[in-house]
Amino acid sequence: MKRWRRAWKLKLIEDSNPDWRDLTDELNALAVPALRSSVKTLQRARDTREGV
């Protein structure tokens, strides 16, 4: 994204979020289940290696 033109990035934001709402809580809510899933996958892999 760093190399993308500013006007293009602004249009992208304004098309999907015209009121420029703070999306932090919504994005965090999406990230938490994904992180939990990743942790469970890593735990299963560890348990398999350790023979648990």
- Give pLDDT tens digits for 6-34: 999 999 999 999 999 998 888 888 877 77
d(CA 52, CA 50): 6
pTM summary value: 0.40
Q: Give a yes or no: residue 3 inside a domain.
A: no
Span 33-47, average pLDDT: 81
Question: What is the DSSP secondary-structure string of 1-52?
Answer: -TTS-HHHHHHHHHHH-TT----HHHHHHHHHHHHHHHHHHHHHHHHHHHT-
Q: Indicate whether 36 pLDDT > 80.
A: no
d(CA 20, CA 9): 13
Domain count, the chain: 1
Task: Provide the pLDDT for residue 1.
Answer: 65
Q: Give a yes or no: residue 33 inside a domain.
A: yes
d(CA 45, CA 28): 26
Q: Give a yes or no: residue 1 inside a domain.
A: no
Q: Give a yes or no: residue 27 inside a domain.
A: yes
Q: Give a yes or no: residue 38 inside a domain.
A: yes
Q: Name the residue range of residue 35's domain.
A: 20-52
Pair of tokens at residue 33: 């289940």
Task: Provide the pLDDT for residue 31.
Answer: 78
Q: Indicate whether 4 pLDDT > 80.
A: no
Q: Give a yes or no: residue 29 inside a domain.
A: yes
Q: Give a yes or no: residue 48 inside a domain.
A: yes
